[in-house]
Chain A
Amino acid sequence: MAALSLQGVSFRYPRGEEDVLRDVSLDIGSGGVLGLLGPNGAGKTTLISILAGQLRGASGRVRVDGSLGLVPQELAFYPMLTCRENLRFFGAVQGLQGGRLSQRIAAVAGLARIEAVLARRAGELSGGLKRRLNLAIGLLTAPEIILLDEPTVGVDPQSRAFLLDTIRSLAGPGRIVLYTSHYMEEVQAICNRVVIMDHGRVLISGSLDEILHDASGVLELRLRSPLPPALAVDWRSRFALQDDGGCRYRLHLCQPGALGQALEAARAAGCEPIALGYGRRDLEQVFMQLTQRSLRD
């Protein structure tokens, strides 16, 4: 069974002024897709690079149990070679040969749907096809641990949807898929576990459901028309009402039963609720809340 484990891992680049990873501890078991999120400079790519063996010199303990395949952020292949030549090269350097190599090339080409362009030079492909070739190379050895570092950067929506479907299909028992991205909706769509990092630290780690669950009791409400003043005064005293403007309000509900009462009262006052959020946040909210809004670059 594949497993990834980091215990107290810290890392600083030579001549760097501060650690880019600080005492990171994670245990990643197999099954599903783990989303690794963080703003620019959070340490995601450094973490992936350490796991992939590209960076040495990290303190702490890193354990990688299982064969590993990396799909880096860069289009890491030879543009002057054909797709097939690239696949043959990267397969061969990982020990694949003969019939097994041909079989794996056919398999990953089929998975990434690049069969039709195998004879074309990689440098001549469209952005989406290049990304698919990049993915295919990372899957050549059928690795148990797949590290995907922003694999959908710069592709059109169709290619992105295809890549996400493919990545989702890779998840299975006995396999770890670690996925980093800046696109929250992607992570929310394909990951079942999430780790959010910033400034080299793990801020939160857990299942997607746990992380999106909001136990604060805050009801976010958008109404068709503004609250009548009387109701606003009532809610201010009962639910600590906050007016966010644009018919958007925030109420602090002490008990779940209060949700129905509040909605009923709004309807009775002629203010039909047109959107509400309660008990569940979206990932972007969690991310922004944890990492703050300040620019990082």
Chain B
Amino acid sequence: MRVLLAFWEKEWLALSRDVHGLAVLFVMPAAFIVVMSLALSDVFKEDSARRTGFAVLAAGGPKIAEQIAGHLAGEGWFAAPAPQDEAGARDRLRRGDLGAVLVVGGDFPASPTLTVLADPALSPVRLVEFQQRVMGLMLGTKRAPAVSLEVIGYPRGGRPSSVQQNVPAWLIFGMFFVVMPMSALFIVERREGTLARLASQRVPGAMLLAGKIGPYFVINLVQAGLMLAAGVALVPLLGGEALVLPARGDLLVAVAAATSIASIGWGLLVAVLARTMEQATVIGGVGNILAAAIGGIMVPRFVMPAAMQELAELSPMAWALDAFHAVMLRSGGLADIALPCLKLILLGAALGAAALWVHGRRRTRGLPA
């Protein structure tokens, strides 16, 4: 019994001095409770607080459009400023700025033609909801017109499937997890004196860090290839819907490359900051999970309330998901992925530079590199 008590005492002392271990036990679940509760709050509410923007373009002019928009607004739908014309509407849908646009042609309300242009990333439930609200407009008229539907940017028609949401989302999550092996090896290198030996061989710090970029970049691209292949081939084998790849494979590669740059920059910074695997797990692993929770990886952004959707913009995983969706769901071009990719690349460069600075500073100050 004394031996057992001694073990307990030792464990307690060790844990009480391990701030990061305590963070895993207490801070992480607390953070998850907060983030996930906020993110999923609307799903569990009858009175949905989530809001989707829509706009109305009417042949009869802006006043009629405004009047129709007033009727359609409510229950999570808010009227956004109307685009100039249909081309502008399509552009904003392609960028994901709007959930839907109602184009009212002909003579409203006598004999209108009604077309709903929809963001393919809009959930089917929300889309049907919007169509019903549009049909509700015409209740009481003698001859209710048909409401045609066009999902913008989805070349094969139909709706985005679960696989099209989940494959890029979890691919991004997996890519960012290179932080773990990167930091694990760096910790071993530091602990075993290998970094010190390399320093004595006049290997510059920049070279040490750069030596990790290439392999992990390749690993990230292989991850992308395999995950997309799984969506195309494995998911239908198991009874799911097949992933439909866009025609522009080069853009997919570009998005994967930009995501990889951000994830490697993150991995380098965690590697130089973390002294132990526990620290790497807390900084890298938990950081990834939180970024995924906030960024629409674990919980699709469309189910989040507006405030959480805005918060999602802070997560690099959300930038990556935006870029993948621009290519995969909206058949976007280079212009559509340019901004999120640029943000990812700049973030990766900034994190890499920070890693180099920390590494250099430690060596200069005589700390273990």
Residues of A within 8 A of B (CB): 11, 13-14, 49, 52-57, 68, 70, 72-79, 90, 93-94, 137, 147
Contact = CB atoms under 8 A, between A and B. Distances in A.
A72 B196 contact: yes
Contact of A94 (B196, B199, B201, B363): B201
Contact of A76 (B193, B202, B203, B363): B193
Given A11-B366, A14-B365, A14-B367, A53 B194 contact: no
B366 A76 contact: no
Contact of A54 (B189, B192, B196, B365): B196
A72 B191 CA distance: 12
In order of increasing CB-CB distance, the 10 nearest A-B pairs are A74-B193, A52-B200, A76-B193, A76-B197, A70-B200, A14-B365, A54-B199, A55-B366, A76-B194, A72-B193
Contact of B201 (A49, A57, A77, A93): A93
> Majority SS of interface residues in chain B?
helix
A157 B196 CA distance: 28
A56 B369 CA distance: 11
A85 B363 CA distance: 27
B226 interface: no
Interface string B179-213: 00000000011001110111111110000000000
Interface of B: 188-189, 192-194, 196-203, 363-367
A221 B198 CA distance: 52
A74 B192 CA distance: 6
Contacts of B188: 78-79
A41 B189 CA distance: 24
B194 A78 contact: yes
Nearest to A68: B200
16 contacts: A11-B366, A14-B367, A49-B196, A53-B202, A56-B363, A72-B196, A72-B197, A74-B196, A75-B192, A76-B192, A77-B192, A77-B197, A78-B189, A78-B194, A79-B188, A93-B198
B293 to A, nearest CB: 33
User: Which residue, B194, B201, B363, B364, has most C-beta atoms of chain A within 10 A?
Assistant: B201
Contacts of B367: 13-14
Contacts of A90: 197, 201
Contacts of B202: 53
Contacts of B199: 52-54
Nearest to B196: A54
B364 A57 contact: yes
Contacts of A77: 192, 194, 197
B366 A14 contact: yes
A77 B367 CA distance: 20
A45 B367 CA distance: 14
A56 B366 contact: yes
A70 B197 contact: yes
A68 B202 CA distance: 10
Nearest to A49: B196
B366 A13 contact: yes
Given A53-B202, A57-B365, A79-B188, 12 more contacts: A52-B199, A52-B200, A53-B199, A54-B363, A57-B364, A70-B200, A76-B193, A78-B188, A79-B192, A93-B201, A94-B201, A147-B200
A49 B366 CA distance: 9
Contacts of A70: 197, 200-201
A20 to B, nearest CB: 9
Contacts of A75: 192-193
Nearest to A71: B197
A176 to B, nearest CB: 15
Contact of B364 (A56, A68, A73, A79): A56
Nearest to A53: B200
Contacts of B192: 74-79
